Amino acid sequence: MSDIVTPPSTFAANARRWSVQLAQIAAIVGIVFIAKGALAEPFYVPSASMEPTLLIGDALLATKFPYGYSTASLPIHVSLPETGRVLAATPKRGDVVVFRWPGDRSQVWVKRVIGLPGDRIELRGGVVWINGVATTIKPDGLGAAEDDNGGSEPARRYVETLPDGVSHPIFKLFDNGRLDNTAEVTVPADHLFVMGDNRDNSADSRVPVRSGGVGLLPMDNLVGRVDAIVGSWDLGVRNQPVSNWLSGFRMARFFTAVN
């Protein structure tokens, strides 16, 4: 009984076929990597700091080109020297932005832009003052602020209007919260003052990095602008039988714009 030997030409044909397939796979991976790095990238909301605008369990789509590109734009965290941004543009006041936390750039956070470079920002009694002008706050009923365990607590809902006319909802859990009164700060060049919409449950620019907050955010840390919610799942159903998990999908939030 003789062994079966594959002719050399067959080996060569198989090798070429495998090389073509590997090249195609590499091209697909490269296209996905470039698209995530240059166009848009999905992110997941794990905390309640941006409620009621963003809920725990929301899946976001952040577009990257509006603010230009830096090492923060890469879809994976890579420790590279900071070189500034290419095609840089300053966010608009009121934009919801995704950024790498200055305390650990492997972490990606989301907040709202309140102060731009040169702005003077101060809080008095929970009201934001920008360049000596108070934001307008109008009551908008009651809401429920989530917690990480799927529970909730009552929250007063307001509509805040910034001096340039941008309006968005906010939550207030307490009167005279610990971050309701702050000293005036001037936002340095190439930095932003960012805040969460859940004003009593957000470690943002009111809190220094050394204390677990954002401090004044360097614009080189920007990843992109949040334009849409592409999906949402209520994490509270995790404590229910698996048969109920499908009920956790918040279909009304799928493919909705973020303001």
- Measured in whole angstroms, how far is the alpha carbon of residue 50 from the centre of its chain? 9
What is the CATH topology of the domain spanning 41-257? Umud Fragment, subunit A (2.10.109)
Cite the active site residues. Answer: 49, 111
Tell me the pLDDT tens digit for each residue of 42-64: 888 989 999 999 999 999 999 98
pLDDT of 60-115, one tens digit each? 999 988 898 887 777 665 555 666 778 789 999 999 999 999 999 889 999 999 99
Three-state DSSP at 51 gives coil
Q: Measured in whole angstroms, how far is the alpha carbon of residue 84 from the centre of its chain?
A: 20
For position 19, what pLDDT does the model report? 58
* Contact by Cβ (8 Å): 235, 48: no
Residue 203 CB-density burial (10 A; 0-12 exposed, 13-18 middle, 19+ buried):
buried
Prediction pTM value:
0.80
- Stronger pLDDT, 29 or 211, i.e. the higher one: 211
CB 190 within 8 A of CB 173: no
Closest CA to 239 of 227, 248, 251: 248
**DSSP assignment string, 165-212:** S-EEEEEE--SS-TTS-EEEEEPPTTEEEEE-SBTTS--STTS-GGGT
Q: How far apart are the C-alpha atoms of 180 and 175, rounded to whole Å?
A: 8
Helix, strand, coil distribution of the chain in percent, nearest 5: 20, 35, 40
Helix (H, G, I), strand (E, B) or coil at 8: helix
Structure token digits, residue 96: 């919801």
Residue 36: pLDDT band (50, 70, 90) is very low
